[in-house]
Amino acid sequence: MRITGFAALFVLFAVVSSPAQEPQIRQLLQNILNQPTDTDLPTTKDFFTKINEVTVGALTNVELQEVLPLAQECIRSPRPNVRQDGLFFFIALVMRPDSAKLLEPYVDDLGKLTDGAEGNVPLRHAALYVLGSMRPNSPANAVAMLSANLESSRNSSEETLTIAASLLEAAPGDASNLHRVLAVTSNRSDSVLTNGVLRQLGLSKIHLPEAIAFISTNLGHADPYIRGSAVDAAARLEYNDRIQLSSQLDRIASDPTESKEVRGQARLALRQ
């Protein structure tokens, strides 16, 4: 059975094999393209033994130029399982510190996998993840594609979070971008999305007034998990930003009904 769950990717990437050589990866991708039916595709174990974060990360840029066109052919394939294997290669590649430069020529092809056409829907989240995770920063054309998909009604909660977090990370000082992300988050009333966006506000240390107001609102949320995420976000901000939330943080720090962990984090957030 082929793996289609996006969350399974990272478990599989944890498989550590002996250092792969470019010919092994090139041959595997070529075999995938040449197989007439899905039953002839490599097993999950065989694929991830040869293609994972470690093996792809070890390739030189010269070796990658031999392999990348084959991965591109895979994601252009009319067969979903072949496209999936090509995306798995790109997900391994996106972990590299130079992945933005390497992947920029393939942004348009990745973007086509986000439109839901021609049976691409199961691969959409993976493509959005690659577009938003390039290092050190996703290129402008990738960010533009993510932005164009932010308000899509087709987005799952996880897809919206992937897009929103990527946009906040890419442009932490963009007030218009922040407003759109927070509007989508508020309209969806989804705890997974709200928790994730709060965390990203803290990770990106976004101190725009609307971000501080959003954190403040959620410090008083009825859901203890969302309150905890708001405390986490506040604790990651610079002190001058945290001080704007000090009365709420002080209340949470002294509230015996809050969890020990959340109270402790609120106390830490109050320190200079």
Q: Which two tokens stand for residue 31?
A: 């075999």
Percent of the chain with pLDDT over 70: 90
- Whether residue 115 lies inside any domain: the answer is yes
- Whether residue 80 lies inside any domain: the answer is yes
Q: pTM for this one?
A: 0.87
Cβ partners under 8 Å of residue 35, min gap 6: 41
Number of domains forming the structure of the chain: 1
Task: For residue 20, give the DSSP letter.
Answer: P
Show the domain range for 16: 1-149
CA separation for the pair 142, 220 (Å, rounded): 35
- Whether residue 101 lies inside any domain: the answer is yes
Which tens digit of pLDDT belongs to each residue from 90-121? 999 999 999 999 999 999 999 999 885 544 55
CATH number of the domain enclosing 65 = 1.25.40
Which tens digit of pLDDT belongs to each residue from 24-72? 999 999 999 999 999 999 998 899 999 999 999 999 999 999 999 999 9
- Whether residue 269 lies inside any domain: the answer is no
CA separation for the pair 152, 236 (Å, rounded): 30
- Whether residue 145 lies inside any domain: the answer is yes
Task: For residue 154, give the DSSP letter.
Answer: T
- Whether residue 168 lies inside any domain: the answer is no
- Whether residue 110 lies inside any domain: the answer is yes
- Whether residue 18 lies inside any domain: the answer is yes
